[in-house]
Structure 1
Amino acid sequence: MTRRSPVPLLLVALATLAAGAALAAGAHADEAREEVPSIIAVLCAPDDRFGLRVVAELESLGFRAELLDPAAEPATRASLEASARRAGAIAAIRVVRSDRGVEVWIADRVTGKTVLREMAGGADDGGAPDRDAALALRVVELLRASLLEASLPAPPPGELPATPEIREKMRVPAPAGEPAPALRFSLALGALLSPGGLGVSASADLGLAWMPSEHVGIFALAALPLSSARLDRSHLRVDLSALLAGGGVRFATREGWLAPSVDLGLAVVSLWSSGKVVSSGFTGGDSAAVTVAPFARLGVALAMTSGLRLRADVLASVIARGVSIQIDEHDIVTWGQPILLTSAGVDFGWF
């Protein structure tokens, strides 16, 4: 039996600990970088009334401001950015008096931009506190406009990431669009089918919906026959025309570019049939029937504009006992167990 030296195992353990410490240090550094405090450095003399006014405006908006004395340091982009770094600030502001008013320098480390604006008015006129307040507010708004770029979907690359505090302050609510109309009229072409021997018939589908609330409303519909369902064999021919009209409750949403809906209601079904036996010369008969059937309809609307949408629906219903069509006292076809109506078209909104 051989005895292994503990030295290799000790070296592996030390290497593992060193790697873990390095990863922890890196994570801590990243966390510290993400948690840079949202400080705004204001470069002005301690007794500069206008600089103090800018600080007051910043603090009134919830920013944390720190005064820095620029002394005789020239107003340049490099010096302003260096001052912001020394203060650990996300941005620095400096106002320099000029013959025409004041020059405002803003170094924004979040967006990586330095802004220079000349504003009319004097911060040194010594007797216009209202003018100082208005000018200080314009300076702060200029900073806010620069920081707003950090909330864009693709913000400009900056020296520092936007802190959670800045992202919250600069969050811009989505513009409120015009509310979707509550009253809508629909026009569609449909295909009506009931398995039982007859074919498919075409229909013109009309609808009217009123959505006084966001998710619940009422509706009415009518499916007018454009063709008849036909059974055509060598010795007989049967035609059936069906009209559906009814209404009920709609569960849907008025807002959004895609609006699904569920309709539940009751329909009156009116049927007309005619048939003849071809092989025996002519034997024909016409009949009509009216019945009531519950139905459910699933739909989806795709908004093109606030007032115009593309719409598709599938309706399912069933007549309890069905309708039988007889020729020479023999049941030829049945209809209504179940009923399927598919349609596609447009709907228009008014108000």
Structure 2
Amino acid sequence: MTRRFAPLLLAAATLAAGASLAKGASADETQSEAPSTIAVLCAPGDRFGLRVIAEIESLGFRAELLDPAAAPASRASLEASARAVGAIAAIRAVPTERGVEVWITDRVTGKTVLREMVDDGGTPDRDAALALRAVELLRASLLEVALPAPPPGEVPATPEIREKMRVPSPAAPPPPAERASPALRLSLAPGVLLSPGGFGAAVDIHLGLAWMPSEHVGAIGFAAIPLTSPRIERPQGSADLSVLLAGGGARFLLAARASPWAASADLGLAAVSLWSTGVASAGFRASGSAAVAVSPFASFGLSFALTPTFRLHAAVLASGVLQGVSVQFAQHETATWGKPFILSSAGIELGLF
């Protein structure tokens, strides 16, 4: 009978031993998982100590009240008290003539702080004011766990401590406001005016004004003032032709107004003023003439912004005069101009506002 129940007794003993070991391990684990406990050394009923406990618990920590009895106020005794209850820190206040002398040991950062807090008599609740200052002193010490390289301590900072002492990252400064691209722009560019038919190219100065109230659509005006006059020479004499252009229309931007690179297309009407002067050889008679015509035009441009108000700009304008201009020598047509003509320019754009 004894032999039959021996295995059962052995199994029960093993289970009991296992349960005891598990209970001990659980107790040890509970002891090690109480990193948020802060020991407060004060006599039972001490008003200052009770206020310190209230402030600690308001921060979300657990407070353990310990009676210091006759133990001297020292770093060694304070650290021993914290270790005895598995606390991360311990606080003790010793009354002085002017206030209290506060001892704080922080096992997470490995620091012990001694600070005398003077009662200036300016607050009605002396104990509450001094207790708040003492707990803030402890909190300032624990905040060092948020540093990139926190000081080594006797116990590691747990995730709970790191979360409570986490310092929010400073908000990134807002990006500088981008300066708005000016809506009114003045362009200045040398240009070359060319028309097939016998006359050479003419150099002019191109002045333009663009108003872009929206990002993609606006209005333009321009004038091309001649600087040179192409000449034709024949045995009968010579003829010079001067061309003045002025016009306006609509501009369409293919990119946002403030884009570094911006392509544009202009459509409108141009007034073409032409006048010619002739010099006749011996035996011939010279005459001059002038004419004004209106013609549609199309212009294509490309600009690049060096700054919000300063851009480089190049454009090509194409148009044509229906009747054109004819130059005759001895009643024979020698050259024509205007069917079609092209004005190319490259220069700068300045933003006005």
TM-score under structure 2 length normalisation: 0.55
The answer to whether the aligner puts 1:283 opposite 2:285 as a matched pair is yes
User: Number of paired residues?
Assistant: 222
Query: Residues 276 and 282 of structure 1 are in contact (CA less than 8 Å); yes or no, is this contact kept in structure 2?
Result: no
For 2:168 and 2:277, locate their aligned partners in 1 and report how far apart those are by CA, in whole Å.
Answer: 82
Q: Which residue of 2 aligns with 1:219?
A: 220
Deviations 1:75-121 (A, max 9, x none): 49xxxxxxxxxxxxxxxxxxx975693434347xxxxxx2669xxxx
Question: For residues 48 and 197 of structure 1, do their structure 2 counterparts lie closer, same or farther at Cα, with a shift above 3 Å needed?
Answer: farther
SS in 2 for 1:264: strand
Q: Which residue of 1 aligns with 2:36?
A: 45
- Runs of 4+ aligned structure 1 residues displaced above 4 Å come to 46-52, 69-73, 96-100, 172-175
Question: For residues 75 and 203 of structure 1, do their structure 2 counterparts lie closer, same or farther at Cα, with a shift above 3 Å needed?
Answer: same
CA drift of 1:325 comes to 1.9
**Equivalent position amino acid for 2:108 in 1:** P
Q: Which residue of 1 aligns with 2:168?
A: 140
Q: Which residue of 2 aligns with 1:84?
A: none
CA drift of 1:275 comes to 2.4
Q: Which residue of 2 aligns with 1:269?
A: 272
Q: Which residue of 2 aligns with 1:182?
A: 183
CA drift of 1:348 comes to 1.2
Gaps of 5+ in 1: 1-42, 53-68, 77-95, 108-113, 118-135, 146-171
- In structure 2, which of residues 260, 263, 269 is the aligned counterpart of residue 260 of structure 1? 263
Q: Which residue of 2 aligns with 1:74?
A: 108
Q: Which residue of 2 aligns with 1:111?
A: none
Pairs within 5 Å for 1:1-351: 45=36, 49-50=58-59, 74-75=108-109, 98=137, 101-102=140-141, 103-106=143-146, 114=148, 139-142=167-170, 175-252=176-253, 253-278=256-281, 280-351=282-353
CA drift of 1:138 comes to 8.6
CA drift of 1:276 comes to 3.2
For 2:35 and 2:346, locate their aligned partners in 1 and report how far apart those are by CA, in whole Å.
Answer: 69
CA drift of 1:277 comes to 3.9
Question: For residues 183 and 44 of structure 1, do their structure 2 counterparts lie closer, same or farther at Cα, with a shift above 3 Å needed?
Answer: farther
Query: Residues 311 and 346 of structure 1 are in contact (CA less than 8 Å); yes or no, is this contact kept in structure 2?
Result: yes
For 1:341 and 1:296, locate their aligned partners in 2 and report how far apart those are by CA, in whole Å.
Answer: 11
**Equivalent position amino acid for 1:101 in 2:** A
For 1:273 and 1:319, locate their aligned partners in 2 and report how far apart those are by CA, in whole Å.
Answer: 16
Query: Residues 244 and 274 of structure 2 are in contact (CA less than 8 Å); yes or no, is this contact kept in structure 1?
Result: yes
Question: For residues 44 and 206 of structure 1, do their structure 2 counterparts lie closer, same or farther at Cα, with a shift above 3 Å needed?
Answer: farther
For 1:183 and 1:137, locate their aligned partners in 2 and report how far apart those are by CA, in whole Å.
Answer: 55
Name the % identity.
47
For 1:331 and 1:312, locate their aligned partners in 2 and report how far apart those are by CA, in whole Å.
Answer: 35
**Equivalent position amino acid for 1:349 in 2:** G
SS in 1 for 2:197: coil
**Equivalent position amino acid for 1:242 in 2:** V
CA drift of 1:214 comes to 0.7
Query: Residues 318 and 341 of structure 2 are in contact (CA less than 8 Å); yes or no, is this contact kept in structure 1?
Result: yes
Question: For residues 312 and 50 of structure 1, do their structure 2 counterparts lie closer, same or farther at Cα, with a shift above 3 Å needed?
Answer: farther
CA drift of 1:323 comes to 1.9
CA RMSD of aligned residues (A): 3.4
CA drift of 1:309 comes to 1.4
TM-score under structure 1 length normalisation: 0.55
Larger Rg: 2
For 1:209 and 1:71, locate their aligned partners in 2 and report how far apart those are by CA, in whole Å.
Answer: 72
Query: Residues 187 and 349 of structure 2 are in contact (CA less than 8 Å); yes or no, is this contact kept in structure 1?
Result: yes
**Equivalent position amino acid for 1:308 in 2:** F
CA drift of 1:301 comes to 1.6
For 1:336 and 1:190, locate their aligned partners in 2 and report how far apart those are by CA, in whole Å.
Answer: 17
**Equivalent position amino acid for 1:296 in 2:** A
For 2:331 and 2:87, locate their aligned partners in 1 and report how far apart those are by CA, in whole Å.
Answer: 108
CA drift of 1:202 comes to 0.8
SS in 2 for 1:285: coil
CA drift of 1:51 comes to 6.7
**Equivalent position amino acid for 2:181 in 1:** A
Gaps of 5+ in 2: 1-33, 38-55, 62-85, 90-106, 111-134, 152-163
SS in 2 for 1:105: helix
Query: Residues 188 and 344 of structure 1 are in contact (CA less than 8 Å); yes or no, is this contact kept in structure 2?
Result: yes
